[in-house]
Amino acid sequence: MKIYNWIVLLLVLSMPAMADNFDKGWAAYSAGNYEASIAIWEPLANEGNAVAQLT
């Protein structure tokens, strides 16, 4: 049970970092820098970020 608690804690703490990276990708996309947005979003999509997978 302790390992489960640690896994949940790590996932919760990593969510803001993923959101921050997504926002950086969105800023690059909005500025017309499509190559940079793909470079930012592709690793997020590969990690399972559903929003990055749809963009």
Rounded-to-integer distance, Cα 41 and Cα 43, Å: 6
Total number of domains constituting the chain: 1
Rounded-to-integer distance, Cα 40 and Cα 25, Å: 5
Domain with 45 in it? 15-54
Position 9 in a domain? no
Rounded to two decimals, the pTM is: 0.60
pLDDT per position as a tens digit, 4-18 = 777 665 555 555 555
| Beta strands in 1-55, from DSSP E residues, in sequence order | none
Position 21 in a domain? yes
Rounded-to-integer distance, Cα 31 and Cα 24, Å: 11
Position 8 in a domain? no
Contact 25, 33 (CB under 8 A): no
pLDDT per position as a tens digit, 14-45 = 555 556 678 888 899 999 999 999 998 898 88
Position 32 in a domain? yes
Helix, strand, coil percentages in the chain from 3-state DSSP, rounded to 5: 85, 0, 15
Position 26 in a domain? yes
